[in-house]
Amino acid sequence: MRLSTVLLATGAVLSDGFVLPTKTVKNVRPLNVLQEPKRYFTTMKATSGNATDVDTSVTMEKKKVESITSYDDSKDLPIHTATIKPAGLLCDEHFCIEDDLTHKLQHRGRSRKRVLVLCTGGTLTMSNDPTKGGSLAPRQGALTEYLSTMRELIDDPEMPEIVAHEYTPLIDSSDMNPGDWRTVAVDIYENYNFFDGFVVLMGTDTMAYAASALSFMFQNLGKPVVFTGSQIPLREPYNDARKNLIMATIFASSDSIAEVSIFFHDRLVRGCRATKINTSKLLAFDSPNLDPLAEIGINIEEREYLLRDPPKGPFRIRTEMDTRLITLRLVPGFDDTMILQMIKAARETKLKGLILQLYGTGNLPSLKDDLIDCLTEASENGVVVVVTTQCHTGSVILGHYATGQALKRAGVVSANDMTLEATTTKLAYLLGRQDLSIEEVRELMQVDLRGEMTQEDAMPPPPLASTYQKAIAKKNRSRRF
């Protein structure tokens, strides 16, 4: 038989599933927007040849998504070149590609679900590289080799069928950039209709950034996308990689999870709520302002009330990110003259966003008038200035203290209780859309889009709040369930 595949092109969709509270989006123009993938129609043609005879000209090939033509202003966006090569379409209803990079585990149980594992590299795949002085480096083919020996993935009838793809080259997570995030996002989109869930294997150092970025890139995601990795390579006799990989696969085949998440050690956390907290312990990630979506012990305990509702629209992605932003963490006694010069120099190179990590609930020394004037001028000239807290937990509350009032008057935006990873990727995503005005970007930075922040009425009362404020906050929290 001869296999031929007809691929249908996709159109552009612009809505993002949210409504601006006071404005409507004007002058909307398409920019790298991918609509829900239509079904791929496969036609089987009988031939006199052997069933394994496949015409290479019509074999289901790995379709690469070319950049959708964007409007003229898009040339101003930074260009992020991906290090890893796209996987493209790997399966349809009848057939999966198998080559040096893509392998399908021969499942011996009743195969009810299918999970795609995309491996970018990271510690999980590393071994000592003699060409690099014996230091750890990702090894091509390591994942496929180890997967073939993991009998729990193959023999257990409750486990899903697994298709694993290793990107080339395998890289350390510190080498991943928005171009690589886009590659992974597009590959998930390409294969969305043919898998029940997705696992992304990568290094831990920038995993929270990648998971946050994909959370915003995906609109109306209706399937689980689970990031994981390890602190100890899979080749070591004692490691955390095996358990992380197995549990990520289990959660990726879940019917109740429809969002981007990270599984690590013993917990599943929302991707845009995660941050790395440890370099040497197995519990490497935390979700500071939101409980884990699930925890594992003898049983798997899901917190169903925290899970995202099923999507109400078709799945689509927007992958452009404007990364012309800088992050500054202030320390007591800082030289504001140097910071002023840095901001002014950055504005000359088309700075679009400035993220300030300030003290406590978002406080800045009240005597730094020159810095406040600089922030006011930057805001008036189209720079989105966002304030986050240096504290691990808690939220920015601009205006609660007198030192924060000046920032509010300067047009600074609060990040509420978002992590730094979520704040940076959300701002880059909104600026990258280019169909939003700067005012709309500022408004949407304070709107919960993907579960990345706690709504204001669910926040605990601010420090030294009155009895009345505490009572109102308690009443609002009681309405959540």
- Ordered by start, the domain boundaries in the chain are 81-318, 325-467
Q: Strand 316-318 vs strand 33-34: parallel, antiparallel, or unpaired?
A: antiparallel
Q: In this predicted structure, what is the pLDDT of residue 164?
A: 94
pLDDT of residue 45 exceeding 60: no
Residue type, 350: K
Q: Strand 136-138 vs strand 197-201: parallel, antiparallel, or unpaired?
A: unpaired
Lowest mean pLDDT among 136-150, 361-375, 396-410, 458-472: 458-472
**In this structure, are residues 62 and 90 in contact, taking their beta carbons and an 8 Å threshold?**
yes
Mean pLDDT of 250-276: 97
pLDDT tens per residue, range 208-218: 999 999 999 99
204 is in an annotated binding site: yes
Residue 458 pLDDT grade (very low, low, confident, very high; cuts 50, 70, 90): low
56 is catalytic: no
174 is in an annotated binding site: no
**Radius of gyration of the chain, Cα coordinates, nearest whole angstrom:** 24
Rounded to an integer, what distance in angstroms lies between the CA atom of residue 474 and that of residue 467? 11
Global confidence as pTM = 0.81
pLDDT of residue 53 exceeding 60: no
Rounded to an integer, what distance in angstroms lies between the CA atom of residue 16 and that of residue 31? 13
Average pLDDT, the chain: 81
Residue 148 pLDDT grade (very low, low, confident, very high; cuts 50, 70, 90): confident
Mean pLDDT of 447-466: 75
Q: In this predicted structure, what is the pLDDT of residue 120?
A: 96
**In this structure, are residues 275 and 226 in contact, taking their beta carbons and an 8 Å threshold?**
no
Mean pLDDT of 159-169: 93
Residue 182 pLDDT grade (very low, low, confident, very high; cuts 50, 70, 90): very high
Higher pLDDT, 97 or 422: 422
Residue 462 pLDDT grade (very low, low, confident, very high; cuts 50, 70, 90): low
pLDDT of residue 22 exceeding 60: no
Buried b (16+ CB within 10 A) or exposed e, 313-344: eebbbbbbbbbbbeeeebeeeeebeebbeebe
pLDDT tens per residue, range 172-181: 999 999 999 9
- Catalytic pick from 83, 102, 120, 123? 123
Fold match between domain 81-318 and domain 325-467: yes
Q: In this predicted structure, what is the pLDDT of residue 467?
A: 57
Place of tokens 């590659």: 183
Give one DSSP letter per residue of 69-102, joined into a string. P--GGGGGSPP---SSPP----B-SS-B--SSSE
Q: Strand 260-264 vs strand 225-228: parallel, antiparallel, or unpaired?
A: parallel
pLDDT of residue 392 exceeding 50: yes
Mean pLDDT of 360-380: 87
74 is in an annotated binding site: no
What's the CATH class of domain 325-467?
alpha beta
Lowest mean pLDDT among 218-222, 305-309, 336-340, 389-393: 336-340
Name the fold adopted by 81-318: Rossmann fold (3.40.50)
Q: In this predicted structure, what is the pLDDT of residue 214?
A: 98
**In this structure, are residues 379 and 410 in contact, taking their beta carbons and an 8 Å threshold?**
yes
Nearest CA-CA partner of 391 in 417, 425, 427: 417
Cβ of 310: how many Cβ atoms within 10 Å?
10
